[in-house]
Amino acid sequence: DNGAFVGVWKDEAFALWKSQWQSLYDKASGAWALLQEIHETYYLVSVVDNNFVTGDIYALFDKLCD
């Protein structure tokens, strides 16, 4: 469900990114700055194979990596 993913999961995932991981580091550290940059510039992507009985979502990634 795109609405649930974009409206809830994305916000929750990025909030946890900052509150759980980034909070472990001092604000002056390179690790904190890296996590901040990732938070501000990366996208959260959800890939779903709707053929969950016989599908092979990993085949798609294998083709992309070749």
**pLDDT given for residue 15 in this prediction:** 84
pLDDT tens track for 5-64: 666 777 788 888 888 989 999 999 999 999 999 888 988 777 888 887 888 888 888 988
Residue 5 pLDDT: 61
Which pLDDT value is given to residue 61?
Answer: 86
The number of beta carbons lying within 10 Å of the beta carbon of residue 12 is 10
Q: What's the whole-model pTM score? A: 0.60
pLDDT of residue 41: 92
Closest listed residue to residue 10, CA positions, set 35, 58, 42: 42
**Mapping DSSP to helix (H, G, I), strand (E, B) and coil, where does residue 45 land?**
coil
Tell me the three state secondary structure of residue 48: coil
**pLDDT for position 31:** 95
Contact 55, 61 (CB under 8 A): no
